[in-house]
């Protein structure tokens, strides 16, 4: 039987980004969203990047999460090659601690947007991807609702300061 296609593609520029991008993978699992992980580099594997982005929609992906550090061109270049929404994760990989990557990803020219999350915040990228999917997927929506409820409960259960 043919395996169901992944809905979210999680890509990153290097194996060294994996520990940061792990939270995105973990969040996808938690929300029961089909996903795939790949190493795709704008600078070191440009042909693979073109191929990945140009075929992403045909391969069933609905959203792409792209993480990269330093001169982080991966999210923007991928966004330029597909109409799928691309969420960029700036990674703190250099002496500039992610500021370089953040600015590289967020300062896209008009016409090719990349939704950019905070430095190293791949978990929020996954949640945003889930919210996009939830517009057309009731199961993802229900899983997101229960994630939000348990997050609220956790905060309240652990609060040590109470208003009168």
14 near ligand RP5 (CB under 6 A): yes
30 near ligand RP5 (CB under 6 A): no
DSSP state of 15: G
17 near ligand RP5 (CB under 6 A): yes
98 near ligand RP5 (CB under 6 A): no
Q: Pick from 8, 93, 108, 133 the residue near ligand RP5 by CB under 6 A.
A: 93
Residue with tokens 């993480």: 67
69 near ligand RP5 (CB under 6 A): yes
Using a 10 angstrom Cβ sphere, with 0-12 exposed, 13-18 middle and 19 or more buried, the burial of residue 163 is exposed
Q: What are phi and psi of 9, to 5 degrees?
A: -100, 120
The dihedral sign for the CA sequence 109, 54, 115, 70? negative
13 near ligand RP5 (CB under 6 A): yes
9 near ligand RP5 (CB under 6 A): no
16 near ligand RP5 (CB under 6 A): yes
Type and span of the H or E element at 100: helix 99-106
Residues that bind ligand RP5 (CB under 6 A): 12-14, 16-17, 41, 68-70, 91, 93
């Amino acid at each position: 039987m043919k395996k169901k296609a992944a809905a979210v593609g999680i890509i990153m520029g290097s194996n060294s980004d994996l520990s940061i991008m792990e939270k995105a993978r973990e969040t996808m699992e938690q929300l029961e969203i089909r996903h795939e992980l790949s190493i795709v580099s704008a600078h070191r594997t440009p042909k693979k990047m073109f191929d990945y982005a140009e075929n992403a929609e045909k391969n069933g992906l609905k959203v792409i999460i792209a993480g990269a550090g330093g001169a982080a061109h991966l999210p923007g270049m991928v966004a330029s090659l597909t109409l799928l929404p691309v969420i960029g994760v700036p990674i703190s990989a250099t002496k500039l601690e992610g500021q370089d990557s953040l600015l590289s990803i967020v300062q896209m020219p008009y016409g090719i947007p990349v939704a950019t999350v905070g430095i190293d915040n791949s978990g929020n990228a996954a949640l945003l991807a889930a919210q996009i999917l939830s517009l057309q997927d009731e199961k993802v929506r229900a899983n997101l609702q229960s994630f939000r409820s348990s997050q609220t409960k956790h905060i309240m259960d652990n609060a040590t300061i109470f208003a009168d």
